[in-house]
Amino acid sequence: MAVAVGRGFLLQPSSSSSFICNDVNKSSIGITSAFLPAKSGTTRRYLATVVRAQQRPTWLPGLDPPPYLDGTLAGDFGFDPLGLGEDPESLRWYVQAELVHARFAMAGVAGILFTDLLRVTGIRELPVWYEAGAVEFKFASTRTLFIVQLLLMGFAETKRYMDYISPGSQTKEGSFFGLEAALEGLEPG
């Protein structure tokens, strides 16, 4: 018996050791069954099941990806059980959000490695990265650091959002402290 679960399916075993797959789209799984002819002089016939690979890898083998996830995006394995990417504009926003998250993750790893290198070599006396948030810095209070971070990140995120809404608008004269030429021709994000 096949039970629908969101956009996928779950195969439940029957009381015997075999699966009942009558309601499942077998072409998407890649199952082909055929009875092999009996050899001459014997009365037995054997059922042969052949499993073939899918056209495209998916997050759960055997599932058909949603039609709007056509494999053109990086890392697209057809995973969208809630249907959040059905709207093309939302999907475009999610792509940009993933780029930003990936860049923050890479910057975080670089920061961890760089500060640990300075700490281990004895160049600077820095805390271990996972204890750095508990350290009180002498040059500024935690509140001051938080406000400065809000202002700087708010500025950067506002510029990024404005360029997402109107691509190329942030390369116009006077929009980025005279550094517009360096940003010209780049895609949003």
Q: Summarize the annotated binding site for chlorophyll a as residue ranges.
A: 98, 101
Beta bridge partners of 33: 49
What is the 8-class DSSP label of residue 169? Answer: G
Dihedral sign computed on CA atoms, order 128, 131, 137, 140 = positive
Which residues sit in the known binding site for chlorophyll b? 103, 179
Beta bridge partners of 50: 32
Which residues sit in the known binding site? 98, 101, 103, 179
Q: What is the rounded CA–CA span in Å between residue 175 and residue 181? A: 11
Q: What is the rounded CA–CA span in Å between residue 168 and residue 158? A: 14
